[in-house]
C-alpha cells in the first residue's frame, strides 16, 4: 500500500498519519496527549520519540538518506533474527529485519494511547537469507511511555534458533558526562576483544564502549541513562532480555551516515535476548516476546 491507501485504511487525523519517507517507502507518525513517535515501515525503525514538552529522546543524524540494505545509525533499529554478527553463520550484523519492508497489521487509539502493529512474514526474499518460516510482529505504543513489543512466531514445521534486540540511540548533550544506572555488580564482555569484567557502581560513558552485560534471572530489568547536560534521565525497563548492551563508538567510528562529532550526541542502551550465540530455541507454533518501555524524566 502507498501512504494514501494506508491513511484511508489505518489512519486517524491528528493521531495516525502515513507519509512518504526515505527511499520512497511509507513512514507513520503516531501521537497522543503524552507524546509522539515516527516509525519507518522499511525496517520498522522507530525514527523518533518525543514526549510532550520534552526534547526528543532518540538521536538522528543529519545524514538521513540511505539506500535499502545499508545500516542505520540512529533512531531505534530492530535487530533480528540475530543481534551482533556471531549467532548465525554468514548473516549480516544485526540480521535482516532492518532492511525489510514491514506491512501494517493494525492501528488503534484511545484517550490514553496510540498504537501501531507492523508485521513481517517469511518470503522468498527472507529464505535466501535464512531458511526458516516465521512471522514477526512489532507493536509500538505511545502513552505516558514508549512501549515496545517484538513477538517472534515459528510458523514452520521445524524448530529454529534466533536472537533479537532493540537498538535505541538515545540523544544526549555530551556523551562524556552521562552514566548508566542499574548495572552495578553485573558481569560483562567487551565485545571488541571478548575480555570480561565486572561493573562496579554506575557505568560512566566517557570512552568508547561495546559492553554486553549478563542480566540476572528476573521478570523485569530496570535501568536509567542519566544526562546532566539535558537535565534528564531516560528509564528503560525490559522483559525477555538476558543481555543489556551499552555502546558508543567514540571519535574513531568513521561510520558513513554519521557526522564526525555525532558520537558525542548519543548513547546506545540495548535490551537483547541473548549474545553472542542464538540462545532462543523456538518450536513450531510457539512464540517468544521481547518487551521494553522507555520513559523520559526531566528535572
Distance from CA of residue 200 to its chain's centroid?
26
pLDDT in tens, 151-190: 999 999 999 999 999 999 999 999 999 999 999 999 999 9
Tell me: pLDDT of 66 over 70.
no
pLDDT in tens, 246-270: 999 998 767 778 888 999 999 999 9
Rounded to an integer, the average pLDDT of 60-83 is 79
Catalytic residue set: 167, 270
> Among residues of the chain, what percentage have pLDDT more than 70?
97
Report the alpha-carbon angle 70-91-269, nearest 5. 65
What is the spatial distance between Cα 287 and Cα 275, in angstroms, rounded to a whole number?
19
Tell me: pLDDT of 88 over 90.
no
The average confidence (pLDDT) of the chain is 94
Report the alpha-carbon angle 291-136-61, nearest 5. 70
CATH number of the domain where residue 221 is located? 2.70.98.10
Rounded to 5 degrees, what are φ and ψ at 127? -70, -20
Residue 60: domain span: 3-298
Q: What is the tally of structural domains in the chain?
A: 1
| Strand partners for 210 | 247
What is the spatial distance between Cα 221 and Cα 293, in angstroms, rounded to a whole number?
10
Rounded to an integer, the average pLDDT of 11-35 is 94
What is the spatial distance between Cα 40 and Cα 65, in angstroms, rounded to a whole number?
13
Q: What is the pLDDT of residue 288?
A: 97
- Which of 107, 132, 152 is closest to 291 using CA atoms? 152
Tell me: pLDDT of 237 over 70.
yes
Q: What is the pLDDT of residue 67?
A: 58
Amino acid at each position: 500500500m502507498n501512504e494514501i491507501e494506508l491513511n484511508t485504511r489505518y489512519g486517524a487525523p491528528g493521531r495516525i498519519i502515513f507519509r512518504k519517507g526515505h527511499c520512497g517507502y511509507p513512514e507513520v507518525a503516531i501521537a497522543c496527549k503524552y507524546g509522539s513517535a515516527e516509525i519507518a515501515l522499511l525496517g520498522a525503525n522507530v525514527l523518533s520519540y518525543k514526549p510532550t514538552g520534552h526534547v526528543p529522546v532518540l538521536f538522528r543524524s543529519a545524514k538521513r538518506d540511505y539506500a535499502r540494505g545499508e545500516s542505520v545509525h540512529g533512531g531505534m533499529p530492530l535487530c533480528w533474527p540475530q543481534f551482533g554478527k556471531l549467532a548465525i553463520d554468514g548473516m549480516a550484523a544485526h540480521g535482516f529485519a532492518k532492511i525489510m519492508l514491514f506491512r501494517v497489521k493494525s492501528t488503534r487509539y484511545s484517550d490514553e494511547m496510540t498504537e501501531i502493529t507492523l508485521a513481517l512474514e517469511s518470503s522468498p526474499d527472507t529464505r535466501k537469507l535464512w531458511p526458516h518460516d516465521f512471522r514477526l510482529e512489532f507493536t509500538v505504543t505511545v502513552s505516558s511511555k514508549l512501549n515496545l513489543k517484538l513477538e517472534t512466531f515459528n510458523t514452520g514445521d521445524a524448530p529454529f534458533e534466533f536472537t533479537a534486540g532493540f537498538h535505541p540511540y538515545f540523544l544526549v548533550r555530551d556523551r562524556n558526562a552521562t552514566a548508566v544506572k542499574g548495572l552495578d555488580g553485573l558481569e560483562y564482555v567487551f565485545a571488541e576483544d571478548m575480555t570480561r569484567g565486572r561493573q562496579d557502581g554506575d557505568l560512566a560513558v566517557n570512552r568508547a564502549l561495546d559492553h554486553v552485560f549478563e542480566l540476572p534471572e528476573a521478570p523485569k530489568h530496570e535501568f536509567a541513562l542519566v544526562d546532566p547536560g539535558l537535565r534528564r534521565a531516560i528509564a528503560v525497563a525490559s522483559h525477555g532480555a538476558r543481555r543489556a548492551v551499552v555502546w558508543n563508538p567514540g571519535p574513531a567510528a568513521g561510520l558513513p551516515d554519521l557526522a564526525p562529532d555525532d558520537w558525542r550526541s548519543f548513547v546506545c542502551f540495548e535490551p537483547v535476548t541473548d549474545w553472542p550465540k542464538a540462545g532462543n530455541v523456538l518450536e513450531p507454533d510457539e512464540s517468544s516476546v521481547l518487551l521494553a518501555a522507555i520513559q523520559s524524566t526531566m528535572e
